[in-house]
Amino acid sequence: MGLFSNWRTGRSHSFCHAGSMTGLALALSFAGCAVDSDAQPDAAPVDNVDAAPSGLPYPSGPYGSGPEDVMRNHQWVAWVDNNGDGDQYNDGVRLFELGEYHTATDPDAKIIMLGAAAGWCGPCRAEANGSNRMMSDYGSRGVRFATAIFEDDGGAPVDRDYVKQWGETFNLAYTTLVDSTFQMGRYFDENAMPMNMFVDARDMKIIVVTNGFDEQSFRDILDYYLSRP
């Protein structure tokens, strides 16, 4: 675990990292099937799987939760833009697996920026409010975005309706995940919110895990890792 002090704001952000970013100003060192039926639970039926449940290619284990570990191919009930119209919330929920963003399935994918958020988390809302700027700038460069929402404003597990409301409130243009079983909890302490992890889409290895919200820090991370061969 390291500490990144943002030189623009003076705020500090904790992170775990898989390597050193020597090219930055401060030499930074540091992270389907339709399910529209009302009978379908919002908790995905597969948690912590070691292979692609749909048969999509996915790296073999061992799997872990820290930098340089291969991330498990989690599966969630999710709101996904299936028809490419920029509005995932008119498509209905479906099962989504992380392996859909693996380069073997999505050849243009380079990095996955996967976040975790909760309704009671003020910084999570601030991050969501500006996240479309990130997608607009980096989506065409191979960054895939998704956010797992795990608790509502009162701290209760979310359902699909709450996650839809979250996405529509912030006009999110990327995949939003119903994490009612808190699958993302294996990667961070929920008291350190929001969490964002950056995953190499080529081998599904965790690059960086960050806590706290600083858009410029995220841009620095993405710019650095996208510049690597």
Summarised one tens digit per residue, pLDDT across range 176-226 is: 999 999 999 999 888 888 899 999 999 999 999 998 888 999 999 999 999
Neighbours of 184 (CB within 10 A): 23
The pLDDT of residue 48: 40
The pLDDT of residue 85: 63
The tokens describing 123, both together, are 């910084």
Please, how many CA atoms are within 13 Å of residue 168, restricted to the half-sphere of its CB? Answer: 8
Instruction: Tell me if 68 sits within 8 A of 203, measured CB to CB.
Output: no
Instruction: Tell me if 197 sits within 8 A of 72, measured CB to CB.
Output: no
Instruction: Tell me if 143 sits within 8 A of 196, measured CB to CB.
Output: no
pTM for the full model? 0.79
pLDDT over threshold 50, residue 25: no
Confidence of residue 13 (pLDDT cuts 50, 70, 90): very low
Instruction: Tell me if 225 sits within 8 A of 210, measured CB to CB.
Output: no
The structural domains of the chain, ordered by start, are 32-226 (3.40.30.10)
Please, how many CA atoms are within 13 Å of residue 119, restricted to the half-sphere of its CB? Answer: 21
Q: Between 49 and 97, whose confidence is greater?
A: 97
| Cα 149 from Cα 157, distance rounded (Å) | 9
Neighbours of 140 (CB within 10 A): 9
**In sequence order, what are the residues at sequence separation of 6 or more whose Cβ sits closer than 8 angstroms to the Cβ of residue 211?**
13, 14, 15, 188, 189, 192, 193, 194, 195
pLDDT over threshold 60, residue 44: no
Confidence of residue 156 (pLDDT cuts 50, 70, 90): very high
Summarised one tens digit per residue, pLDDT across range 108-152 is: 999 999 999 999 999 999 999 888 899 899 999 999 999 999 999
Q: Report the DSSP beta bridge partners of residue 77.
A: 95, 178
Percent of the chain residues past pLDDT 90, beyond the cut:
53
pLDDT over threshold 70, residue 10: no
Percent of the chain residues past pLDDT 70, beyond the cut:
72
The pLDDT of residue 97: 93
DSSP letter for 23, please: T
Query: Residue 62: exposed, middle, or buried by beta-carbon count in 10 A (0-12, 13-18, 19+)?
Result: exposed
| Cα 45 from Cα 180, distance rounded (Å) | 11
